[in-house]
Amino acid sequence: MKKASNSLLQRELCNLELMKVGQLTKRYEQLIGEPCRSRNKQYIVRRIAWRLQANAEGGLSERAKRRIEELADDAEIRVTPPKNLKPKVATSGAKTSVLATGRDTRLPPPGNLIQRVYKGNLVQVIVQADGFEFDGKKFKTLSSIAKSVTGSHVNGFKFFQLGDAK
């Protein structure tokens, strides 16, 4: 009897991939018992597949449930902030004044030198108030300098390893 239910489960799991997102959200709501807030097909399929398998195999053991409860007591439950809270913007401080000038906070102040060794050659760029200077030429962006050095489009901040590239 277990083999027959296993083949039914396998068939249902395969059918999930063929379903449209609208059909999946209805199936999700039937199985999980709450409205589906996602429209990501892969996510919905995985959640439904997990629930189907948990129902067929009996779900988590009592020991696992107790351990989850223990961990949940110590952990911060909310992962994302509530939607009604807006991020607070600093009204004073150095970061705000840097942002007020329109300059990216990842860039050093004008007059500083940015260096990188690329294929054995030292690439030196002088930061200016209105752009960058490289090899005696003026550039608007670090990406344009990186492109002239490498021959292909490269994110300038990643190329020069300045903070996190946006």
148 phi and psi, to 5 degrees? -70, -30
How high is the pLDDT of residue 94? 45
For residue range 94-110, what is the model confidence (pLDDT) as tens digits? 444 445 566 788 888 88
> Looking at residue 20, what is its pLDDT?
94
Q: In what order do the strands lie in the sheet with 113-118?
A: 113-118, 121-128, 131-134, 137-139
Other C-beta atoms closer than 10 Å to the C-beta of 48 total 22
| pTM for this model (two decimals) | 0.40
Burial grade of 89 (CB within 10 A; 0-12, 13-18, 19 or more): exposed
How far apart are alpha carbons 86 and 84 in whole angstroms? 6
Q: Where are the domains of the chain?
A: 2-74, 102-159
Answer yes or no: are the C-beta atoms of 146 and 134 closer than 8 Å.
Answer: no
Who has greater pLDDT, 89 or 128? 128
